[in-house]
Each structure stands twice: as C-alpha cells, then as structure tokens.
C-alpha cells in the first residue's frame, strides 16, 4: 500500500501536475477547495499534506494550521509563489510546516523534498510506536510489581502469626532470641513490601494526591514525627520552633518528613545532634536536614536516590528498606520541588525546596 499525499491548490492544473509527478510512489488525493481538502485530510490521515499558500477561502498557512488537529502526525509542505514569506517563516518556526517550496517548482527538487518529508514521517511513526511500547512495558512492570508484592504478603502474614505463637511456647533465652530475630526481619520484609507498593503506585500515577493541598503546621508536624519514630542511637534532634503554616499535599509532605527523620535516627552517629530547619520565602518552602553519619559514605547524590544503587555501610542490613531516599526524591520531584544532597566530611546534609503558599 502506497503512502498517502493530499494536495490542495485552487488551480486544478497544479494539482494534476503533482499527481502525475508523484503517483508512482504515492497515493495522491487532491482538491481545489480548502474546505474539501480538510475533509480529505480528516478522512485519509495522510503522511504528507501539500498546500498552496494563496487561495481564495483561506491561506495555505491557515489550512495547515487547521489540519494539525485533524491529522497531527502528517508532514506539512507549503507551495508559495510570493516573495513576502514572513507569515510562512513564522509558521515554520512554530513547527506547523516542515518546509516551503517556491513556485514554479523544479520537479526533481520537489521529489527530493517530499521523499525526505516521508522519511521524517516514518521516523515519527516509529518513535510513536516505540513510545507506546515503552508505556505498555512500564504498565506491565507496575502491574507485575503490585502483583508480586501482594502475593508476598500472604506467606509473610503466616510467618508473623506463627512467630507470635512461638514466642509464647519457647522458654529458653537462645530460642527467644532466634524468634525475635525472625520477627524483626519479617517486619522488615513487610516494610519493604509496603515501600515497593508505595513507590510503584506513585511512579504509575505521579499526579495522585497532588491537587489535595491542605493547611499544614510544619513545626508541629516535625515535632510529632520526631517523637513518634524509634530513636535507637539516642539522637538529639534540633527542630524549628517558629510557627510555619503552608498549603501542601498532606500525605506526600508527611511521608517526606517522616522518612527523613527516620533516616536521621537510623544513620546518625550515636548520641549526636541532628538538625532540621524550615523557612518559607517567595512561594518556596525550604527545609534542611543534617546529621553526622555513623560511618562515612562515598556515593554520588544520584546513587542515594536510585532504587538499585546501595551501599553496604548505609544499609547495614539492620534498619530501613533502602528505598526511603528514593521515595523522598520521587515525591519531591512529583510536587515540582528539588532535592540537594551533600555527604562531605561524614556529614549528611539534605535540602529540599517545595513550591508552597502560606496557609
């Protein structure tokens, strides 16, 4: 099947000349009426549209602009015999027209231009196909991750239940320590599954919950999260004291702050002081989290935020799932914010900036 070209020119002999020139390689439809030409474009979804510039009912630029909504993938060429090309050049710059050719046109030049236009059309179609394939694969990946994590919950729930029963039956200290170890790692697997589900859903639907801005007391929220989270290394945390109320997506923002405080408690040096500050200026909430790490880490920021790049000393196989910073980065960027991370001189320093209005 030959690719389709539609020619619109109010002079019939020009259309006939184009048909004779192109019919060996293309299926050509033509019209002397711009209105009828638009109907042909809508019907045939051509690879290429060729229009004369000066026509009684509308200009070629106007016709090609209207054709954008009817056949967005088509490549558009303009024939013009006039020296005033300001409107034509403007249309080319705006991406509406691939190229223009002056009349009278040279047959060989016209054929070369049309063949190149068709190559561009083929490339666009291939790119569109590949993008659709990527979307489909991404959806399959998301569905697979959700399925796997859901299926893992059932055996983990059974392990948790029997572990609780074992705690009641086992009396010796060694046995109890083994059961406690099983329970601890089972809980860690539960947390890992929840984190994978959460980040998978966020990546699958980045705009979820973004329109639900709520008034948030940042100072009060940080104080509650600092008190709620386990503090195994006796970290003293310095929090902002001045009241600060902003409008932000409540669920996302709470997740961000909660995970950053958890990260401080898990990876800060024992008995050290961690600091959190917050300020609002010119429509941006800026928060700074810093603490001295319990062991030096030499990773780039993108490695901290990657789902699949981990460091043994950071993870230590004892606390957290390793997805915390990845989730934080995903949430902040989905909210239109930025994250800046620095790990120089054994200090962990993270600054996040979020667009927000005062409540």
For 206-241, the pLDDT digits (tens) are 666 566 778 999 999 999 999 988 887 888 888 888
The answer to whether the CB of 61 falls within 8 A of the CB of 38 is: no
Helices 173-204 & 107-169 angle (0-180, nearest 10): 160
Across 14-18, 185-189, 343-347, the highest mean pLDDT is recorded for: 14-18
pLDDT at 205 over 90: no
Residue 215 CB partners (closer than 8 Å, separation 6+)? 245, 246, 247, 359
Q: Could you tell me which of 313, 185, 199 has the C-alpha nearest to residue 256?
A: 199
| pLDDT score, position 112 | 94
| pLDDT score, position 317 | 38
Q: Which structure tokens are listed for 280?
A: 């609002």
Q: How far apart are the first and last CA of the chain?
A: 62
Q: Could you tell me which of 192, 198, 321, 196 has the C-alpha nearest to residue 254?
A: 198
Encode pLDDT of 272-291 as tens digits.
889 999 999 999 999 999 98
Token pair 């503090």: residue: 231
| pLDDT score, position 94 | 64
Full set of structural domains in the chain with CATH: 4-105 (3.40.50.2300), 134-204 (1.10.287), 213-358 (3.30.565.10)
The answer to whether the CB of 196 falls within 8 A of the CB of 145 is: yes
| pLDDT score, position 211 | 63
Indicate the average pLDDT of the chain. 84
What whole-number distance in Å separates Cα of residue 208 and Cα of residue 40? 41
What whole-number distance in Å separates Cα of residue 64 and Cα of residue 173? 82
- Whether the bond into 313 is cis, omega within 30 of 0: no
What whole-number distance in Å separates Cα of residue 285 and Cα of residue 293? 25
Encode pLDDT of 117-161 as tens digits.
999 999 999 998 888 888 777 777 777 777 776 777 788 888 888
The answer to whether the CB of 272 falls within 8 A of the CB of 237 is: no
What whole-number distance in Å separates Cα of residue 254 and Cα of residue 319? 20
Encode pLDDT of 101-127 as tens digits.
888 888 999 999 999 999 999 999 999
Q: Could you tell me which of 49, 59, 2 has the C-alpha nearest to residue 27?
A: 2
| pLDDT score, position 309 | 46
Residue 175 CB partners (closer than 8 Å, separation 6+)? 166
Encode pLDDT of 306-356 as tens digits.
654 444 444 443 444 456 688 888 889 888 999 998 877 678 889 999 999
């Amino acid at each position: 099947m030959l690719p389709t070209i539609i020619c619109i020119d109010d002079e019939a002999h020009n259309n006939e000349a184009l048909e004779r020139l192109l019919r060996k390689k293309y299926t050509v439809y033509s019209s002397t009426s711009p209105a009828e030409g638009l109907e042909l474009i809508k019907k045939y979804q051509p690879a290429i549209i060729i229009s004369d510039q000066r026509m009684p009912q509308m200009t070629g630029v106007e016709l090609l602009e209207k054709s954008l909504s009817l056949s967005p993938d088509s490549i558009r060429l303009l024939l013009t015999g006039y020296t005033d090309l300001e409107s034509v050049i403007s249309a080319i710059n705006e991406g509406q027209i691939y190229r223009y050719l002056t009349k009278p046109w040279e047959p060989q030049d016209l054929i070369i231009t049309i063949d190149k236009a068709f190559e561009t059309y083929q490339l666009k179609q291939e790119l569109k196909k590949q993008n659709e394939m990527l979307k489909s694969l991404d959806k399959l990946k998301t569905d697979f991750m959700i399925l796997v994590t859901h299926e893992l919950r059932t055996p983990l729930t059974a392990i948790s239940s029997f572990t609780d029963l074992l705690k009641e039956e086992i009396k010796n200290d060694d046995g109890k320590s083994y059961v406690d170890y099983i329970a601890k790692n089972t809980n860690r697997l539960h947390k890992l599954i929840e984190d994978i589900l959460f980040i998978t859903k966020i990546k699958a639907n980045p705009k979820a919950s973004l329109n639900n801005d709520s008034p948030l007391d940042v100072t009060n929220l940080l104080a509650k999260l600092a008190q709620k989270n386990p503090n195994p290394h006796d970290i003293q945390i310095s929090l902002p004291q001045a009241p600060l109320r902003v409008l932000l997506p409540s669920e996302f923002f709470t997740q961000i702050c909660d995970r950053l405080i958890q990260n401080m408690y898990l990876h800060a040096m024992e008995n050290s002081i961690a600091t959190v500050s917050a300020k609002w200026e010119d429509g941006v909430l800026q928060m700074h989290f810093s603490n001295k790490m319990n062991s030096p880490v030499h990773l780039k920021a993108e490695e901290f935020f990657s789902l699949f790049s981990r460091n043994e000393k950071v993870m230590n196989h004892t606390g957290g799932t390793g997805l915390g910073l990845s989730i934080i980065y995903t949430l902040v960027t989905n909210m239109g914010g930025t994250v800046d991370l620095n790990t120089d001189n054994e200090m962990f320093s993270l600054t996040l900036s979020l667009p927000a209005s005062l409540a």
